Amino acid sequence: MADALFTLPGMLIDGAWRATGTEGAAEVRSSYDDGLVAVVPKAGGEEAREAVGAARAALERDNFPRAERVRVLEQAAAAIHDRQEGFARAIMAESAKPIKTARAEAARAVETFAFAAAEARTFAGDVVPMEATPSGAGKTAFTLRTPIGVVAAISPFNFPLNLVAHKLAPAIAAGCPVVLKPASATPVSALLLAELLTDLGVPSGWLNVVTGSGGTVGEALATDPDVAYVTFTGSADVGWGLAAKAPKTKVRLELGSNSPLIVEADGDWRTAAAKTAVAGFSHAGQSCISTQRVYVHEDVADGFVDDLVAKVGALRVGDPADEETDVSALITADDADRVKSWVDEAVADGGKVLCGGERTGAAMVTPTVLEGVRADAQVQCQEVFGPVVTVTRYADFDDALRMASDSRYGLQAGVFTTDLGKALRAGRRLHFGAVLVNDVPTSRADQQPYGGVKDSGNTREGPAYAIEEMTEIKLVSLQS
Ligand code: NAP
């Protein structure tokens, strides 16, 4: 067997690295060329429970003071910055994300840790004006923000470093010991990050990483009675299923979407077309906020479609390691087959392929633009999670708002318009976690509140918001 690209210490439980799990070991392979990326332990439910026990004991030891947590987070931001290229190569190898996009993800992880460090320095409770009511007479009260308890973090394959950072950094800042289960397809960046954090002095038990399948390790973590908080990022069915299985636990979900973009006739449709050619196809459309459904006013639709198709047709498809590659493989051949079958289904129902639509390589679909697709086609009403954008023409802005909102999902929506009234109407009427004016969905700054409504989730991430979720407000009242 060829040597793996990365040699990893194994999984981390209670400060010790383990090379194998109760279910043996698993190979991590590239979906682009099947190259062996790493071999990681395959844990079962037993190790999940052990890791939660270690986290629980760490919480009781209370041996990771806030100043130390600030130091670790600040030094982690600097250390990730110094090793950015190595992290980018790991992201690229395990997820087939093109190297230039992988570099952007690694740079974002630096920001995520830096914002968590800033928040860790400053978050605090409030003084409560008790004497403002007769029942508060003679009382002086304030609130403390205390750690909620053990955090179980379950992460997806598509941002294997930065979405892990969005869970570990706030947990450290909040003072919560954490057990992470990374996606089976992409555990490498997470393990490298855990190694970096332990090298910086995170004490035993405060950070545990258990590799193994979602159905066993993930479920065992989420349903463990000693877990106070589950932070899950992944698909809607799995996420809502976990929430139902752990009704007494705070289960916070960051899930998928089929993000819409509205392009009004008065808007800068050329910029909208150029941005859609990136936003719909970055990491082969495997982003939860990938632009998927475009509604374009009929007066500018011809120009918009011509521009979009020209730009999408010019995207470079191929090896993720190639500096010029824009779009590479999907995470599995099955996913590529599914996306292709959804495109075929839309076409069989009257949709037209304007470009792409081919299934190539081990796990690739060529960047695809479709027009005239029915509202109930899967490429329109489900999350495609592949390199596919649909275009629908409209005549009336309110119809476009209605069609954009008509989805089980609600993560982000975009609107291009220069009319302030329409921009405000969109901001109020579109039922999403974020409405972006003169920008496409697929926009995330790591400090912003990020998350969705409806089937897209029930929380907001971003270090400050996640830390708020991971802390509890405790009132301390003194009677004089
Ligand atoms: P997924 O299949 O739901 O997996 C996500 C994580 O859950 C993985 O670690 C997976 O483990 C684990 N898992 C699977 N079944 C489980 C179960 N029964 N119990 C507990 N854990 C389980 O999602 P994915 O394919 O990795 O990621 C793509 C999805 O994530 C898309 O829907 C995307 O939109 C969404 N996403 C959302 C956001 C956001 O912030 N809103 C960001 C990125 C991605 P295994 O890998 O071992 O199966």
Query: Identical fold at 11-255+457-477 and 260-445?
Result: no
Annotated active-site residue 355? The verdict is no
- 111-145 as b/e: b if 16+ CB within 10 A: bbbbbbbbbbeebebeebebeeeeeeeeeebebeb
Question: What are the tokens at 287?
Answer: 């982003």
Q: Does the C-beta of 218 come closer than 6 Å to ligand 1?
A: yes
CA distance 48 to 249: 17
The residue extents of the domains of the chain are 11-255+457-477, 260-445
Annotated active-site residue 383? The verdict is no
Pick the CATH number of 11-255+457-477 from 3.30.428.10, 3.30.300.30, 2.40.50.100, 3.40.605.10: 3.40.605.10
CA-wise closest residue to 287 among 433, 432, 444: 444
329 contacts 320 by C-beta, under 8 angstroms: yes
Q: Does the C-beta of 242 come closer than 6 Å to ligand 1?
A: yes
CA-wise closest residue to 50 among 188, 213, 179, 202: 179
Please list the ranges in the chain whose pLDDT falls under 50.
none
Q: What is the structure's pLDDT at 2?
A: 67
Separation of 254 CA from ligand 1 center, angstroms?
9
Q: Does the C-beta of 157 come closer than 6 Å to ligand 1?
A: yes
28 contacts 172 by C-beta, under 8 angstroms: no
- Which amino acid, one-letter code, is at 312? V
- 231-263 as b/e: b if 16+ CB within 10 A: bbbbbbebbbebbeebeebbbbbbbbbbbbbbb
Look up the pTM and report it: 0.98
pLDDT for 442-477, tens place per residue?
889 999 999 999 999 999 999 999 999 999 999 999
Give the total residue count for the chain.
480
> Taking the CA of residue 362 as centre, how many other CA atoms within 13 Å lie in the half-sphere pointing to its CB?
16
Separation of 232 CA from ligand 1 center, angstroms?
8
Pick the CATH number of 260-445 from 3.40.309.10, 3.40.50.300, 3.40.50.2300, 3.30.390.50: 3.40.309.10
Concatenated DSSP letters of 237-306: HHHHHHHHH-TTSEEEEE----EEEEE-TTS-HHHHHHHHHHHTTGGGG-STT-EEEEEEETTTHHHHHH
* Bridge partners (DSSP) listed for residue 140: 478
Catalytic residue, chosen from 176, 288, 371, 383, is 288
Separation of 155 CA from ligand 1 center, angstroms?
6
Q: Does the C-beta of 254 come closer than 6 Å to ligand 1?
A: yes
